Amino acid sequence: MRELTKLRESVSPWKSLARRVHDALELVQLSETDEDESMSTELAAEAKALAHELAALEFELQFSGPHDTKGALLAIHAGAGGTESQDWADMLLRMYLRWAEQRGYETEILDSMPGEEAGIKSATVSISGRLAYGYLKSERGVHRLVRLSPFDGAHRRHTSFALVEVMPDIEDDIEIDIKPEDLRIDVFRSAGAGGQNVQKNSTAIRITHLPTGIVASCQNERSQTQNRLMAMKVLRARLYAVEEEQRAIERAKLRGEHVSAGWGNQIRSYVLHPYHMVKDLRTGIETGNATAVLNGDLDEFMKAYLADEVGQP
């Protein structure tokens, strides 16, 4: 039934567009015998609207991956550099939350580890909505920031790095073999800013998958059981992402392509000094409006990446 619902969601907009085109063509035939200017204006407006909707539907055809229509789990990790990188990780978290808000997606911070002085060391966010993963998969990789550091008394220029992970919010019907004996589960108190935010009971959960060393944690929910379920959800998504990445690497090796992994995969640079520029190193897309990008204006970069993936100019 879930699959049927998804298929209907994909087909319905095209059927609706076809009906509108049919109605517009009938109006065209009527207008040939009627010199009513208001009808001509109405037809011109409808033709423009139809062209815009067709372009949007054609763009969605690029979301052809098996999980592109699903929600996403997004994780941000500060790189080396202490407070500066932790503040950069926090800026990225705000950027993606703003982007999700603009698209009407629901967000939930599942886990967050605050920085020592400012920012965050890491955070995991659930982003729910159709095509969330399809869009956000373009953000996977290392993001680089160049700016005058607000934490440096000498106001020197600093370069910071943060790693962004993006995983599909996979369904329960996708089999991921996780053996209970391969898990180490730690329980601890949720971090808070003090006062009523500090948990008196140990409800936060950290699950370590011993064979791979992959860790997933959740401290957002009030009960230990809820946190355990959400942590397992994140762990399953991470294990699935690792498996998919290994398959992609093997396919690339068979094709004779260069394969790189890890922190070397820098995908985008954000420069705030001595000039403003954001440039995607994969597609060459750049903009001088860095403020807008950091406020969630990411669609231009995402669309360019998707077009590049399917070989469109």
Q: What is d(CA 138, CA 280) in angstroms, rounded to the nearest whole number? A: 10
- CA dihedral of 43, 45, 46, 49, whole degrees rounded to 10: 160
Which residues on neighbouring strands pair with residue 286, listed in sequence order? Answer: 279
pTM: 0.79
For the segment 202-219, the average pLDDT, to the nearest whole number, is 91
Q: 72-174+258-309: which CATH architecture?
A: 2-Layer Sandwich (3.30)
Return the pLDDT at 106.
Answer: 96
- Work out the average pLDDT over 121-144: 94
C-alpha span between 48 and 9 (Å, rounded):
24
Q: Between vectors from CA 54 to CA 51 and to CA 60, what angle results, nearest 5°?
A: 145
In angstroms, the Cα distances linking 168 to 2, 91, 112, 135 are 16, 23, 19, 11
Q: What are phi and psi of 231, to 5 degrees?
A: -65, -40
Of the listed ranges 47-56, 78-87, 182-191, 285-294, the least confidently predicted one is 182-191
Measure the CA dihedral 279/130/249/245, to 10°: 110
Residue 205 confidence (pLDDT): 93
Q: Which CATH class is domain 180-254?
A: alpha beta
The pLDDT tens digits of the residues spanning 221-253 come to 778 888 999 999 999 999 988 888 888 777 666
Determine the average pLDDT of the residues in 128-140: 94
Task: Tell whether the model's pLDDT for residue 86 goes beyond 50.
Answer: yes
Question: Which sequence spans correspond to the domains of the chain?
Answer: 2-60, 72-174+258-309, 180-254
Q: Within a 10 A sphere around the Cβ of 148, how many other Cβ atoms?
A: 13
